[in-house]
Chain A
């Protein structure tokens, strides 16, 4: 694995290795079949800080969790509301957001 600090300046984000995350099996979210529950958790409102592997579904307000850090262009699926989403970066806040792909 290449140390990201050794990459040349301006290296696209997509070239950098992604941090991996261990997902707990039980997040207390029971609205999808058991085997998928670790990929979702309830949103705790505007004060809820999302981790780099998490994004909020704009349709049903459930937090979607990935086993890898998310990046713009990633496609994620919100099983509770069955929406297909694309991760984008909010240019104003710099935060990752999800947009619905119709």
Chain B
């Protein structure tokens, strides 16, 4: 166990992250990169991009509160140090997505009111379920909720957003690449640390399975709100074709994103995340619970 935990050092984090893939970046992207004019000059696209970015800020604020809150609940020093590095990762994510809102034209004095007005209530409920566990200093449930459910969702959502933006918006694509690299460490910690703890505390399984089912429902409801009746869907396709070129066909798990309808994207994203939850939870000895579909 000591060998496994010894990898969770500040030194490893420094060498991989700030001295590695984040070196020479500015708010997560390359210096001088900007949001495409085709996006910021189109009021419909700008508005929908602000709405989507607010959801990222809400998710990352939840992750920041959860990872920092779990530090004092962690049963060993190595886990505390890992969660300290994760706390800084999450704070960075809050900052870079907030900076994106500023880049999209939100004034600093309007930040909180903008977030309050467009934050998805289902995503807020998803976060509340997790933070209730963290407030109770429930380390096992907190890490499953944070590092497997929330981070597992973020991993796939960021992969989808990366595929959508690689051709059309290099600035945002580079921002996402760094966050995906961070998520790899976070999901790894969730599986490796909890895989060992669940073996020691099998009595916790039922409660954790209930939490996963509930969080999964609110996650699916958030996806449904984001994809269904999206007035800007066709406009985004036009933007992507114009910005990335007509020959560009972004793909996500076999789906051609330039051809797919929003409902197809929602289905593929939801199926990808749920399948991933199932595999990850099974590996650590927790039985995946199928959520109600909204």
Write the residues of chain A forming the contact surface with B, with a CB cutoff of 8 angstroms.
Answer: 30-34, 45-46, 58-60, 62, 78-84, 100, 102
Contact = CB atoms under 8 A, between A and B. Distances in A.
B21 interface: yes
B20 A102 contact: no
B277 interface: no
Q: Which of B187, B196, B284 has the most CB of A within 10 A?
A: B187
Contacts of A83: 188, 191-192
Contact of B20 (A33, A59, A82, A84): A33
Interface string B245-284: 0000001011000000000000000000000000110011
Nearest to A47: B254
A90 B154 CA distance: 29
A100 B190 CA distance: 12
A30 B199 contact: no
Contacts of A78: 188
Given A82-B192, A102-B196, 7 more contacts: A31-B20, A31-B181, A45-B254, A46-B254, A82-B8, A83-B191, A102-B191
Given A31-B21, A31-B181, A82 B189 contact: yes
B185 interface: yes
B195 A82 contact: no
A100 B184 contact: no
Contacts of B20: 30-34
Which 10 A-B pairs rank lowest in CB-CB distance, beginning with the nearest?
A81-B188, A102-B195, A60-B184, A33-B15, A31-B181, A82-B7, A81-B184, A30-B21, A80-B184, A82-B188
Q: What size tier do the contact residues of chain B reach?
A: 20 to 34
Contacts of B16: 31-33, 79-80
Contacts of A82: 7-8, 12, 185, 188-189, 192
Contacts of A100: 191-192, 195, 283
A87 B283 CA distance: 15
A32 B37 CA distance: 34
Nearest to A35: B15
Contact of A80 (B181, B192, B253): B181
A45 to B, nearest CB: 8
Contact of A59 (B4, B7, B187, B253): B187
Q: Which of A30, A83, A102 has the most CB of B within 10 A?
A: A102
Nearest to B191: A59
Nearest to A80: B184
29 contacts: A30-B20, A31-B16, A31-B181, A32-B16, A32-B20, A33-B15, A58-B283, A59-B184, A59-B187, A59-B188, A59-B191, A59-B280, A60-B184, A60-B187, A62-B184, A80-B16, A80-B184, A81-B188, A82-B12, A82-B185, A82-B188, A83-B188, A83-B191, A100-B191, A100-B192, A100-B195, A102-B191, A102-B192, A102-B196
